Amino acid sequence: MRISVITIFPELFREFLSTSLIGRAIESEALEVSVHNLRDFTEDKHQSVDDEPYGGGGGMVMMAPPWIGAVRALRTDVPSRCVLMSPQGRRLTDARVQELAAGNEHLILLCGRYEGIDERVQLTVVDEEISVGDFVLSGGELPAMVLIEALSREVPGVVGQPECVEQDSFRQGLLDFPHYTRPQVVEGLQVPSVLVSGDHAAIRAWRGRQAIRATVGKRPDLLVQAALSEEQLEWLAEIEREGSEYQTAAKDLVTRAEDKDNTKSPRE
């Protein structure tokens, strides 16, 4: 996978690209990331990249020509896709990460700063805008790193065991199951006994149920889209039954507590 980044702060990427899984992926050439300084594509001697907005108002706007020049210089004959990191883009999802990785295009990521980039960059060289969430950051560098890290997990050999990626949240339309490691007891809390039972079928079933339980509890919206197997649908029904039993029991407790309250003699 080949990724080029254009930024006015290339130094922000140094540690990121040399650390942990991404560092190793780059070293092994499974992933190729190059970072380019926008100022190298300026034509004036001050290497200016921004100017005041037409129409007035506060803040500075990044000028179009250096961006257009940089993108055109980096587009070579392999298929390429120019992505503008922008809060106005489509919000990044696991599905989009997989599509981008499968597309196997040379990705050129543009990291804006200030009030953003002159609109004509979008109109000429940008293929797609991607956002990392509904909030505004001061620059596109962190969003670009988010995208690079998510993409790197799709490159064969980056994450040691591919099944780890497959069981991760969102991949099967569900959240991941809870994880435990040593010690067996933490603050009086035991590891669920099934995980130390050595019974692989029971562990698999427990994890499957827990993934559904986590999704029901934290992201019920995901269940609407998830293509659940019959086994998973059974687990879901069980979990929902437990939920309603729990609610009935809780309601009973409240009613009993209220009844008890009512039998007390009224206060003076």
**Cα–Cα distance for residue pair 83/129, rounded to 1 Å:** 6
Q: Of 63, 82, 108, 116, which lies in the binding site for ligand SAH, with binding defined by CB under 6 A?
A: 116
Q: Specify whether the CB–CB gap between 239 and 213 falls below 8 A.
A: yes
87 lies in the site for ligand SAH, by CB under 6 A: yes
Contacts with ligand SAH by CB under 6 A: the residue count is 19
85 lies in the site for ligand SAH, by CB under 6 A: yes
- Cβ closer to ligand SAH: 88 or 104? 88
How far is CA 64 from each of CA 50, 69, 89, 107, 170, rounded to the nearest angstrom?
9, 9, 19, 19, 37
Q: Tell me, residue by residue from 140 to 159, as one string, x for binding to ligand SAH by CB under 6 A and - for no binding.
A: x--x----------------
Catalytic residue among 115, 127, 128, 149: 115
199 is catalytic: no
* Long-range CB contacts (within 8 A, 24+) of 12-18: 12/141, 13/141, 13/145, 16/145, 16/148
Quote the tokens at residue 95: 């599905």
Q: Which residue minimizes CB distance to ligand SAH? A: 112
106 lies in the site for ligand SAH, by CB under 6 A: no
Catalytic residue among 10, 66, 87, 143: 87
Quote the tokens at residue 175: 């959240």
183 is catalytic: no
168 is catalytic: yes
Output the smallest distance, CB 138 to ligand SAH, in A: 6
Output the smallest distance, CB 114 to ligand SAH, in A: 6
Stretch that binds ligand SAH, among 27-35, 108-116, 177-185, 218-226 (CB under 6 A): 108-116
258 is catalytic: no
Residues making contact with ligand SAH (CB under 6 A): 85-88, 111-113, 115-117, 131-133, 135-137, 139-140, 143
Catalytic (active-site) positions: 87, 115, 153, 168
